[in-house]
Amino acid sequence: MKKDRHDSVINNAGSNRIVAKQSNRRKFLLRTGGLIAVSALGAVPLRGWAAEPVNIGALYPTTGSMAQIGVGCVAAAKLAVEMVNDAGGIKSLGGAKLNLIISDVQSDTTVTRTETDRLITSNKLSAIHGCYASALTLIASEVAERAKVPLITGSSSDQLNKGRTYTFTPFARASQFARTQLQMAKLVGEQAKVAVIFENTAFGTSTSNGLKELAPGEGVEIVMFEPYSAGFTDASPLINKVKASGANALFSLSYLNDLILIIRTVKQVGLNIAINGGSGGFVIPDFYKNVGQLAEGLQGVAHWNHDVSEEAQRVSAEYKKRTGEFLFEYAGGLVAQTFMLADALERAGSADPQKVRAALSSLDVVKGYAAMAPGGKVKFGPDGKNIYGRPVGVQWQNGDLASVFPKEDARAPLLKL
């Protein structure tokens, strides 16, 4: 007993500490995450003969509470890499193929930090994309910033554009979502009185603050402004409050499970109110599957939609063939991101992450898969924001998510309740 303790003290001491930690981690992975390890290995093809492949890291939550979306993202990431490779890879690098290295961040901020670190230190990466939830992406982008590896992401938190030089956000920011939502609310009713409920995380807080700041300028009155903790058991008290506020439009900034509860409860209360579900869990196919008829006419806002351009429709059709669902917002955005990376690599003529970063910062595309975004143009400003980025207003119509706002991006008219 005494001897054991003595040994363990030595093991944990000084410089060996990190090694011991890693081996524990390895053991842990062996026990719990064998599956993930296998799938990650499977993504490394044996190609010694052609030009050296370019490694792209993909950080997505393929297990844990966000697994469902993470798995969809990985499917889209694989599809995008295949498309680039089938078209001849990176020509300026002798036709080098993109090699996707997938890492599971387990829907967990701590794991995201260690996985991002591990991915960067154990592979020669040219760039990274990820991680769906802004809370996770913020951490990954910090790690990537320190390691000087460019990270390109569809996550919408405005914090991603602060104090970072290696983070690129080709799509609309959370604060921009707000303006679009407010403008849509004005189209539905006369004097718009909006109740805003949002989950108290980075995503919900930044989006809702944008709404609050912009509302007076857009002539929209906010009659209720309420954060809630995600994962509640009962939405009734919250909806009770919405009812008491006398709002005629409800903005709910929530992930899927909470949103389903909220919408069902609104129906039970018999509240007649235009609901804008924002983005997140609202704009994925599973939402309609879960809510069914109740989803019809609900509005949302997205940084990408599968009908924004001909290219988008083509990719979505291919994705649907593979998975049975249309290509959802985040997954579609990351297909475009992969093509932006390919464009940057082509112009950099190098797999060196710092040169890729420089090439990304001078990216300027107006057509092709890299430009499939609302607005159809991508060019990064000094803060890594796409200067043309704008969100698209969407509405569930006959089981499909149709782009309805603004006019330039609309593929169907906005239906009023």
Partner 1 sequence: MWETVAQAVINGLLIGGIYALVSIGVTLIFGVVKIVNFAQGEFVMIGMYISFFLSNQFGIDPLLSLLVSMPVLFVAGVLIQHFLIRRVLGPNDMPQIFLTFALSLLLLNLALMLFTANYRTVHTSYSDEALHFLGLYVPVAKLIAFVVAMALSGALFVFLRTTDLGKAMRAAAQNRDVAMLMGINPDRVFCVALGIALALAGAAGSLLMPFYSAYPFVGQVFVLMAFVAVVLGTLGNVIGALIASLMMGIAESLGIQFVGADSGQIVVFSMLLLTLAFKPTGLGGGRAR
CA 318 to chain CA centroid, Å, is 20
32 lines the binding site for partner 1 (CB under 8 A): yes
DSSP 415: P
Give the interface segment with partner 1, choosing from 22-30, 59-67, 321-329, 385-393 (CB under 8 A). Answer: 59-67
Backbone phi, then psi, for 303, in 5-degree steps? Answer: -90, -5
Which of residues 114, 209, 257, 313 is near partner 1 by CB under 8 A?
Answer: 257
Closest CB to partner 1 among 72 and 384? 72
264 lines the binding site for partner 1 (CB under 8 A): yes
- Name which of residues 189 to 208 contact partner 1 (CB under 8 A): 197, 200
368 lines the binding site for partner 1 (CB under 8 A): no
238 lines the binding site for partner 1 (CB under 8 A): yes
> Could you give the CA distance from residue 254 to residue 19 in angstroms, rounded to a whole number?
41
Strand segments (E) across 263-371:
274-276, 299-302, 364-365
43 lines the binding site for partner 1 (CB under 8 A): no
Q: Are 167 and 161 in contact (CB under 8 A)?
A: yes
267 lines the binding site for partner 1 (CB under 8 A): yes
Closest CB to partner 1 among 56 and 262? 262
324 lines the binding site for partner 1 (CB under 8 A): no
Cα–Cα separations (whole angstroms), residue 323 to 72, 104, 139, 319, 398: 8, 20, 30, 6, 20
- Name which of residues 284 to 313 contact partner 1 (CB under 8 A): 286, 290-292, 294
> Could you give the CA distance from residue 325 to residue 361 in angstroms, rounded to a whole number?
33
159 lines the binding site for partner 1 (CB under 8 A): no
Which of residues 268, 381, 387, 408 is near partner 1 by CB under 8 A?
Answer: 268
24 lines the binding site for partner 1 (CB under 8 A): no
Q: Are 138 and 269 in contact (CB under 8 A)?
A: no
Helical ranges in 87-173 per DSSP H:
109-122, 134-147
Burial class (CB in 10 A: 0-12, 13-18, 19+), 355: middle
Longest dimension (CA), the chain: 79
Q: Which residues bind partner 1 (CB under 8 A)?
A: 32, 35, 63-68, 71, 197, 200, 226-229, 231-234, 236-238, 240-241, 244, 256-257, 260-261, 264-265, 267-270, 286, 290-292, 294
